[in-house]
Homo-oligomer: A and B are copies of this chain.
Amino acid sequence: MLCKSIVYSVQKSPKPRQLHHMPKAPLPGEPAKPYTLTEIPGPRSEALLNELSKIQQVASIQYFGDYQRSVGNYLADIDGNVFLDMFMQLSTLALGYNHRSILGALSCGGNQRVIANRPAIGLFPGLEWPCKIQDTLLQPCVAPKGLPCIFTAMCGACSIEHAIQMAFIKYAERHRRGKDFTEEEKESAPFNKPPGCPELSILSFEGGFHGRTFGALALTHYKYIMKIDIPSLQWPIAPYPQYLYPLDQHEKENKEEDARCLEQVEDLIERYEKNMPVAGILVEAIQCEGGDRHASPDFFLQLQDMCKRRSIPFILDEIQTGGGATGRIWAHEYFELNIPPDIVTFSYKMQASGFYHSPEYMPKQPYRVFNAWMGDPIQILLLEAVLQTIEAEDLLTHVCYVGNYLLCQLNTLQHEFSDIISSVRGRGFIIAFDTRCRDMKQKLMHLLRNKGIQVGDCGTKSIRLRPCLIFGEYHADIFLEILRDCLQELAEC
């Protein structure tokens, strides 16, 4: 059942306590199947798009959702179409649409009062804040081992921005060796000049995506359309391992690929040392936007080891991969690192955004890493509902089980339609496969969508699947059947 060649690691107890006992059936309130009544986008979506185009760039909008009618794994649009949603709002919804635990949290009067008075958490946090943080982000089964401190922010990009600030501060503190700021540093900092604002850099990877703000975007090396015409920073960019699939047939080549990339990282650190030292290395646990590119646990182990040897903060971006998407709360649990990363960023399925860090990274002075809201209590209330559901329904085991099922079936399909799809890969519900070319990807996505399956794309020719945590075998079978139809149709063209 478990295809070792296409996953890196497998949960030890693949049988979830509850959901796997369930018959292959829709969840309460869900339709039996997706259905479409119109071309996508339908006429009502088209009309609204036309309306909205006067005030916003709308070309990225696929259709308008009807979130009152959406339920579980199904996203309803305003033209009466109902999609089996395997993209789940860019992978940000953990429990699908209108989950009872989320609606329950929002209908509670006490919670409404917490939400109504969004505080400046860095100045006047609510009385429940420390306790809620302990019960959610810092639960022993949630917080990455060895990282008991957290910083919260409003979104993923802000998490990255503040995380790299903490790395810079730590780097400078280490070189200051306990001395106070000099007058020259204090006077130059407000004017962006050294020594107050030093020439330091963060090393990032080709194909990485970390967000759209200036710092996060400078660390992003993906599609040109998100960077063109925007100035950036001359920070070091290293190659990221690009493996040959299936993995078990290319062990040697892929090992060499790891070595090649790591060598270049080391080389870049040395080349930048004199004029713009590397104060942090930022890497995604899985490169998602860049094409669901997985690097091996060994790559991460060696990368972290290099950071340790050189006293460079090792920052792991789990914005897209955290919150149970891989069948563990954090994708990096699969890497079995010997020591924790220095900083781990989160957002998306975690509902709340921010980062974990080790105690030694806590700045000694206040207001150094800070912002007006420092996150929003509503995000913690939603996270609380998500974590309680994950625990109550043993959803991590469920994700491993159904994820493996889906991977195995996709593996079969890739043999059958090897001209069209290849390189099936994944961990839990972070699953992708390649198509022959960009054009083929568009065609397949179009066919799927018109048959009621919503997926996402990534890289240049990959299709990514990001079902929510309550996606079951029943839903997988619906998807697989429709995917087979689409592939058949493409094969016959």
Contacts and interface: CB of A to CB of B under 8 A. Distances in A.
Residue in A64, A97, A168, A198 with the greatest tally of chain B CB atoms within 10 Å: A64
A156 interface: yes
Given A161-B213, A214-B215, A225-B367, A138 B55 contact: yes
Contact of A92 (B118, B198, B200, B224): B118
Contacts of A123: 60-62, 89-90
A206 B193 CA distance: 13
Contacts of A113: 67-68, 98, 103
Nearest to A222: B190
A86 to B, nearest CB: 13
Contacts of A32: none
Interface stretch (A14-22, A248-256, A369-377, A416-424): A369-377
A264 interface: no
Interface stretch (A230-238, A330-338, A470-478): A230-238
A173 to B, nearest CB: 8
Contact of A371 (B130, B157, B172, B363): B157
Interface stretch (A104-112, A296-304, A435-443, A480-488): A104-112
A459 B118 CA distance: 25
Contacts of A60: 122-123, 366-367, 370
Nearest to A175: B229
A186 B228 CA distance: 7
A92 B372 contact: yes
A3 interface: no
A212 interface: yes
Contacts of A347: 372
B92 A117 contact: no
Nearest to A235: B192
Contacts of A67: 113-114, 116-117, 119, 126-127
A126 B66 contact: yes
A287 B374 CA distance: 22
A199 B367 contact: no
A65 to B, nearest CB: 5
Given A124-B64, A155-B154, A229-B172, A369 B57 contact: yes
Contact of A228 (B181, B200, B373): B181
A206 B130 CA distance: 37
B158 A56 contact: no
A201 interface: yes
A231 B168 contact: yes
A154 B158 contact: yes
Interface string A158-181: 100110110011011100000001
Contacts of A98: 113, 116-117
A124 B61 contact: yes
A54 interface: yes
Interface of A: 48, 51-52, 54-68, 70, 75, 78, 89-90, 92-93, 97-99, 102-103, 106-107, 109-110, 112-120, 122-127, 129-130, 133, 138, 148-151, 154-158, 161-162, 164-165, 168-169, 171-173, 181, 185-187, 189-193, 196-201, 206, 211-216, 218, 221-235, 237, 347-348, 359, 362-363, 365-373, 378
7 closest A-B pairs by CB: A214-B215, A59-B366, A172-B229, A192-B232, A197-B232, A189-B224, A60-B366
